Amino acid sequence: MEHLHQSFTIKFEYNVYFTTGLFDTANTLFSDFLLKNNTAEVQRKIFFVVDSGVAEAHPELNTQLKDYFYAHPGIQLIPDILIVPGGEGVKNDPIYFEQVVEAVNTYGIDRHSYIAAIGGGSVLDMVGYAAAVSHRGIKHIRIPTTVLSQNDSGIGVKNGINYFGKKNFLGTFAPPVVVFNDDSFLLTLSDRDWRSGISEAIKVALIKDAEFFTWLENNAALLVQRDMPTMNYLVWRCAQLHIEHIASKDPFESGSSRPLDFGHWSAHKLEYLSNFEVRHGEAVAMGIALDTVYSQLSGRLSVNDSNRVIKLLQNLGFDIIHPLLEVHRDDSPILTGFEEFREHLGGQLTIMLLTAIGVGEEVHEVDVELLKQAGKLLHNLQHQQVQ
Amino acid sequence: MEHLHQSFTIKFEYNVYFTTGLFDTANTLFSDFLLKNNTAEVQRKIFFVVDSGVAEAHPELNTQLKDYFYAHPGIQLIPDILIVPGGEGVKNDPIYFEQVVEAVNTYGIDRHSYIAAIGGGSVLDMVGYAAAVSHRGIKHIRIPTTVLSQNDSGIGVKNGINYFGKKNFLGTFAPPVVVFNDDSFLLTLSDRDWRSGISEAIKVALIKDAEFFTWLENNAALLVQRDMPTMNYLVWRCAQLHIEHIASKDPFESGSSRPLDFGHWSAHKLEYLSNFEVRHGEAVAMGIALDTVYSQLSGRLSVNDSNRVIKLLQNLGFDIIHPLLEVHRDDSPILTGFEEFREHLGGQLTIMLLTAIGVGEEVHEVDVELLKQAGKLLHNLQHQQVQ
Ligand SMILES: NC(=O)c1ccc[n+]([C@@H]2O[C@H](COP(=O)([O-])OP(=O)(O)OC[C@H]3O[C@@H](n4cnc5c(N)ncnc54)[C@H](O)[C@@H]3O)[C@@H](O)[C@H]2O)c1
Ligand SMILES: NC(=O)c1ccc[n+]([C@@H]2O[C@H](COP(=O)([O-])OP(=O)(O)OC[C@H]3O[C@@H](n4cnc5c(N)ncnc54)[C@H](O)[C@@H]3O)[C@@H](O)[C@H]2O)c1
Ligand SMILES: [Zn+2]
Ligand SMILES: [Zn+2]
C-alpha cells in the first residue's frame, strides 16, 4: 500500500518588550498586550508564579498586581499568587513543577489562559516547562528579573527542569507568547546576580559581534558601578543577538550544532559539581575563559585576543577558574562532562571555539592535554590577580 | 527602547508506512528508514517499549527484534526491551512515564537516538510524551498495533498521560519521526479492540467524506468477519483523512476549533466515569451516536441520515448508549463533562455536529433538554435491538 506523507509548518512569533515599572497602573504595555489578544467570547484567566527572591525584594508586587488588574479589567487575575523559591533549587525538586501543574487544575486554567512567571532564569525554566506540558501547552508569559534571564534565558525558546542530577534533563522547546523586560527589577539584584548575566553578553559578543565586545570592554567600569543605562543597552543588544541567532539557525535544535553554547559544556558540569553553588552565569564566565585559552593553546586564537577576554572577565569581577574546573587529573570530573554533553547533544561532540574575537569555529575533537594546560594557565592568572 | 520581534517557522515531516511483518529480517522497510537517516559520525541507539498485550500475543517479538538488528546493523539496539502494561492504565499511573525517562538516563539515549513504541494508543501516548520531554525531545518512532492507533492516534501529533483523573492533562504536540503500520499485529486483537478503532473511521467519514461512509456501510459485514483486506483499506483511508486534516488546519491546535473531535466530548468523560472500562473507541461510538441524534433533534440532520449512522454502529456491534451517558438527570455527571471540555479547549465551547453525512458544523451552544431527549432515544433504540 502506498505510504502517507505528513508535512506542515508551524509559525512561532512573540515580542520582547522593554519597560520600567511594568505593573504601574499607568503603564499599559501589559494590559495592551492582553487586550489585543483577547477575543470577546471567552473569559481568560491569568495565573502568576513569582520567584521568592523577587517577592522578598519587591514586597509591593502582590498589591501592585491586584491594583493593576483592577485598573485594567478584561482578564481574570487568579488572586492566589504562587511563590516558588528562586535559584536553581526550583529546578532540582520536581515538587515545584507539580505545584504549577496542580494550580492549572485547581484554578481551571485553560489553553487560552495565561501562566505568567516573574523571576530569574531558574523559575522561568521551571514554570515554562510546567506551562508547556499542561493541557499540551498553556500560553506562557515571561517576566525575567535577572540580567541573565532578560538577555538570554527568558527571551529564548527553551525550558526545563533538572532530573537525575542532570541539567535540563526534562524540558521542551516552547516559545513564550510575549516577554516583558522590566529594568526596575534589576535594581534589587545582588552584585553577584547583576554580574552573572553579563557573561552571556560576552559569550554572544565573542562568537557574533566584535564591536559589541569592544563596547563591553569600554563599559566594564560603568557596569561594575551598576549604571542602569549601560546595563539597559547591554541587555537589549544581547537579547537582540540571541533572538536573531535563534531564528536564523535551528530554533528547536534538530541538528547537533549549538553555537550559542560557547563556554557552556564545562559550565553545565561545574554548576552540577558545585551543587549549584556556582551560578549559571558565573560558570559560563569560567567556561568562556577555559574555551578561550584552549582556543589560544590549540593555535586558533591570538594571545592578544585571548588576553583581552580574560582581562574583561577579570575587570568585571568574574572568577576565571574554579578548583572543580582545574582539569589537571585524568579522572577530573569535568572531563566526564564531555561525555554527558555529547549525549545531551545527540551523539556527536560539537564544541564552539574562537579563531578571533567575534568569530567562532565548531570543532568535534578536543585535546585533553591542552585542556589541562588551559586549566593550569587560568589557575596561575587567577592567582596572580588575587595577590 | 525598541521592542524585539521574534518570528520563525518549524517544519515537521514524517511518513506513515504500511507493511506486513515489519520485523521479518527480509523486510527492509524499517532498516532502510534508519539507514537513510543515519549520519556516519555518530553511533545511534534505539530503545523499544512494548505493550504487554502485544508482548503476550507475540511472544516471538523479542527474539525477532534481536535478529532483525543483528541482520541489519548500523544502529545499536538497546537489548533490554521495556514492557509496559497495555491499555489506559499505562496513562493513569505516572510510574510508566518515569520508567521510560529513567531508561533514557540509564542507557544514555541521546537526542539523535530513537525511542520506538510498539503498542496500542495508550502505550504510544505515554511513550510519546516521555520521549518528547526527555532531553527536550528524543526522536520517536511509532509502531501502532491496534486499529485505533493505526488509523488515528498513532499517526497524529499528540501524546499525553492522564493526571488528576483527567484525560491527557499532561502532554505535548510532538510529531513522530516515522510511523509503521503493520497489519499482522491486528490479527491478535480481541474482537473488542478490532471493532473499537472502527469508530474513528466512522467519525472522520461523517464529518469529511460521505463516500467513505457509504463504503463503511457496504463493508460492515466483512469488517465484522475480520476480513483483513477490508480492514487494510479502512485503516489506510482513515489515516489519510486524519493526516490531511491535521496538516490543513491548525496542527498544534492554537485555536479552539477541534473538528476532528466529533463525538468526543462525551466520550472522554465516559471513559473516565467508567474507570476506563469503556475503551476509547467504544466511547467514541457512543459519543457519535449521541451527537448524531442531537444533530437530528436540533433540526440539523435528517432522520434518515441519523438512522443510517445508528444502524452502521449497531451492525458493527457497537453499543450506542451507556448507562453513564444517559443524561436524564440535571446532575448527570456527563453534563459536567461540558465544563471540563471547555476548559481543556480554552474557554470557548466548540462542538462539532452534523448537517448531513460527510458535513460537520461547529456550534458553541448546546440545549441540555435536547441532549437528554437524545439519550432517551438512544436508550430505547439500544433496548429494542437487544430484544
Ligand atoms: N532556557 C534557557 O535557554 C536558558 C539559558 C541560559 C540559562 N538558563 C538557566 O537559567 C538559570 C539561571 O538563571 P539566573 O541567572 O537568572 O539565576 P536564578 O534564576 O537562579 O536566580 C538567582 C537568584 O536571584 C534571585 N532574584 C531573581 N530576580 C531578582 C531580583 N529582581 N531581585 C533580587 N533577587 C532576584 C533569585 O531568587 C535567586 O536567588 C539556570 O538554571 C540556567 O540553566 C536557561
Ligand atoms: N494521541 C492521540 O491523538 C489520540 C487519538 C485517539 C485516541 N488516543 C488514545 O488512545 C488510547 C486508546 O488506544 P487503543 O484503542 O489503541 O487501545 P489501548 O492502547 O488502550 O489498547 C487496548 C488493549 O489492546 C491490547 N493490544 C494492543 N495491541 C494488541 C495486539 N496487536 N494484539 C493483542 N492485543 C493488543 C493492549 O494491551 C490493551 O489491552 C486512549 O488513551 C485514547 O485517549 C490518542
Ligand atoms: Zn547560558
Ligand atoms: Zn478518538
Give B137 Cα–ligand 1 centroid separation in angstroms: 23
Instruction: Show the cell assigned to B253.
Output: 491546535
Best to test chain B binding among A2, A4, A20, A258 (most B CBs inside 10 Å): A4
Task: Kindly report which listed range (A341-345, B100-104, B249-253, B364-368) carries the lowest average pLDDT score.
Answer: A341-345
Residues B84-91 have a mean pLDDT of 96
Tell whether the model's pLDDT for residue B40 goes beyond 60.
no
The model's pLDDT over B163-173, given as tens digits with 9 standing for 90+, comes to 998 889 999 99
Phi and psi torsions of B194, nearest 5°: -60, -45
Determine contact, residues B144/B181, Cβ cutoff 8 Å.
Answer: yes
Cβ <8 Å between A236 and B1: yes
A250-259 pLDDT, tens digit each: 888 877 556 6
pLDDT of A146 strictly over 50: yes
Give per-residue pLDDT as tens, B141-169.
999 999 999 999 999 999 999 999 888 99
Q: Whose CA is closest to B126, among B165, B153, B164, B148?
A: B153
* Grid coordinates given for B57: 500475543
pLDDT of A387 reads 46
For chain B, give every residue range classified as CATH 3.40.50.1970.
15-188
A148 lines ligand 1 (CB under 6 A): yes
What band does A341 get if pLDDT is binned at 50, 70 and 90?
Answer: low
Q: Whose CA is nearest to atom 19 of ligand 2?
A: B120
pLDDT for A16 equals 98
User: Smallest CA–CA separation between B381 and chain A, in Å?
Assistant: 36
With CB atoms and an 8 Å threshold, state whether B7 touches A13.
yes
Asked if residues B182 and B22 have their Cβ atoms less than 8 Å apart, the reply is: yes
Residues of A in contact with B111 (CB under 8 A): 253, 256, 344-346
Q: What residues does CATH 1.20.1090.10 cover in chain A?
A: 191-386
Closest CA to A185 of A20, A380, A67, A65: A20
CB contact (8 A) between residue B4 and residue A160:
no
Q: Concatenated DSSP letters for A248-297?
A: HS-TT--SS--GGGTTHHHHHHHHHHTTT-S-HHHHHHHHHHHHHHHHHH
The alpha-helical segments, DSSP class H, found in chain A are: 29-36, 52-57, 61-71, 89-92, 95-106, 121-133, 147-151, 191-196, 198-208, 210-224, 228-248, 264-273, 280-297, 303-315, 333-345, 368-386
Rg of chain B on CA atoms, in Å? 21
**Least Cα separation, residue B246 to chain A (angstroms):** 9
Nearest to A44 among B132, B232, B347 (CB): B347
Residue B354: HSE in the Cβ half-sphere, 13 Å Cα cutoff: 34
Size of interface A-B (CB pairs under 8 A): 208
pLDDT reading at A182 higher than 90: yes
From A213, A205, A331, A200, select the one nearest A267 (Cα to Cα).
A200
ipTM over 0.90: yes
Q: Which residues of A touch B228 (CB under 8 A)?
A: none
Ligand 2 atom 3: residue of nearest CA: B153
Q: What are the tens digits of pLDDT across the range B55-74?
A: 999 999 999 999 999 999 98
State the distance from the centre of ligand 4 to the C-alpha of B153, rounded, in angstroms.
7
CATH match for B15-188 among 3.40.50.1970, 3.30.565.10, 3.30.470.20, 3.10.105.10: 3.40.50.1970
Nearest CA in chain B to A16: B4
> What's the CATH architecture for A191-386?
Up-down Bundle (1.20)
Question: Which runs of E-coded beta strand occur in B52-121?
Answer: 76-77, 82-84, 114-119
CA A90 to mean position of chain CA atoms: 15
Longest dimension (CA), chain A: 76
Nearest alpha carbon to residue B188 among B354, B59, B351, B100: B59
pLDDT for res A249: 79
Q: How far from each other are the two terminal CA atoms of chain A, in whole angstroms? A: 76
Residue A188 one-letter amino acid: T
pLDDT beyond 50 at A191: yes
Q: Sign of dihedral through CA atoms A293, A299, A303, A306?
A: negative
Kindly determine whether residue B6 and residue A12, on different chains, have CB atoms separated by under 8 Å. Answer: yes
Chain A contact set for B8 (CB, 8 A) = 11-12, 246-247, 251
User: Taking CB atoms and an 8 Å limit, are A8 and B12 in contact across chains?
Assistant: yes
Nearest CA in chain B to A137: B172
Q: Given this model, what pLDDT does residue B89 score?
A: 93
In short, whether A51's Cβ falls inside 6 Å of ligand 1 is yes
| Candidates A41, A44, A132; nearest CB to B172 | A132
For residue B156, which atom of ligand 2 is closest to its CA? 3
- Residue A373: which of A305, A309, A298, A301 has the closest Cα? A298
